[in-house]
Amino acid sequence: RNRDTTRDEFIFYSKRLMRLLIEHALSFLPLKPVTVETPQGTTYEGKRFHRQRITGVSILRAGETMEQALTAVCKDIRLGKILIQTNHDTGEPELHYLRLPKEISEDYVILMDSTVSTGAAAMMAVRVLLDHDVQEDRIFLLSLLMAEMGVHSVAYAFPRVRIITTAVDKRINEEFHIIPGIGEGGWGVLSPT
């Protein structure tokens, strides 16, 4: 959060936090017991994810910054994208682009947005997933930083969505930026495009 943080440090620590967020989210997935044989010929009792798939969905553009961490942790994961922008006249979120993998309705979905201030875009993204028959309790909203208002808005509207973040800040300003926040400039240096 220090304004004097170098670009390299910002990228390094942001990526580290993203990976920790994703690994923490995966700990909430349902696991089933499994027995495997070790190279020494003995058996080992472990656990395995018992559903077929996990899908990652980015809320563009900032959510894309989390995709690299997700693909580093989850092999062969399917990715989708949702672009939601605020209408400057009405102040309401609008859906501009949607690309979701086929048959997403049975998946656990990791919904990614690097920061959530009011929660409006996140709530619209959750609504889009619900409209594609994803079950609410199979949606995980991951964000590096959220404003208290955004947490409350999402949790109230969708109480079964799991919200996972590294920090919650108390307020937002008139431009809907999180205060104290981490600024807006860093996400461009992390973006894969």
Q: Does residue 99 lie in a domain region?
A: yes
Any domain includes 120:
yes
Dist CA 163 CA 136 (whole Å): 12
Decide if 162 contacts 130 (C-beta within 8 A). no
Cross-strand bridge partners of residue 113: none
What CATH number is given to the structural domain containing 166?
Answer: 3.40.50.2020
Has residue 55 been placed in a domain? Answer: yes
The answer for residues whose C-beta is within 8 angstroms of residue 15's C-beta and 6 or more apart is 68, 69, 190
Total domain count for the chain?
1
DSSP assignment string, 26-58: HTTS-EEEEEEE-TTS-EEEEEEE-SS-EEEEE
Question: Is residue 1 one of the residues assigned to a domain?
Answer: no
Model confidence over 74-85: pLDDT tens digits?
A: 888 999 999 998
The pTM (predicted TM-score) of the whole model is 0.88
The verdict on residue 105 lying in a domain is yes
Q: Can you give the residue range of the structural domain that contains 138?
A: 7-189
Whether residue 2 lies inside any domain: the answer is no
Is 145 part of any domain? yes
What is the SS3 assignment for 162? strand
Residue at 70 is within a domain:
yes
Question: Is residue 152's pLDDT more than 80?
Answer: yes
Confidence label for 184 from pLDDT (cuts 50, 70 and 90): low
**pLDDT for residue 188:** 53
In the predicted model, what is the mean pLDDT of residues 110-134? 94
